[in-house]
Amino acid sequence: IRAFIFSGYPHLDEVVSFGKRVLPNINTCSLPHVYGRVPDITPPTPLGTGERR
């Protein structure tokens, strides 16, 4: 499983149950690292080293 699409708004008890039972068992990762898309240098964009206006 690579992704989930959740639709709708869960009830509070479902959220609490999901947080206690499911989230602790999910491994997290950095998708840029997984897909090998991490740039060698910081890009010259406003979110990198570029000018912020």
- Per-residue pLDDT of 2-48, as tens digits, reads 767 677 888 888 889 989 999 999 999 999 999 999 989 988 999 88
For residue 34, tell me if it sits in a domain.
yes
What's residue 32's pLDDT? 92
Q: How many domains does the chain have?
A: 1
Task: Give the model's pLDDT for residue 14.
Answer: 86
Write down the pLDDT at residue 27: 93
Query: For residue 44, is it within any domain?
Result: yes
| Residues in contact with 50: Cβ distance below 8 Å, sequence separation at least 6, in sequence order | 43, 44
Residue 6 lies in a domain: no
Amino acid of residue 43: P
Residue 31 sits in which domain range? 11-48
At residue 1 the predicted structure's pLDDT band, cuts being 50, 70 and 90, is low
Residue 15 lies in a domain: yes
What single DSSP character describes residue 39? -
Threshold 0.85, pTM exceeds: no
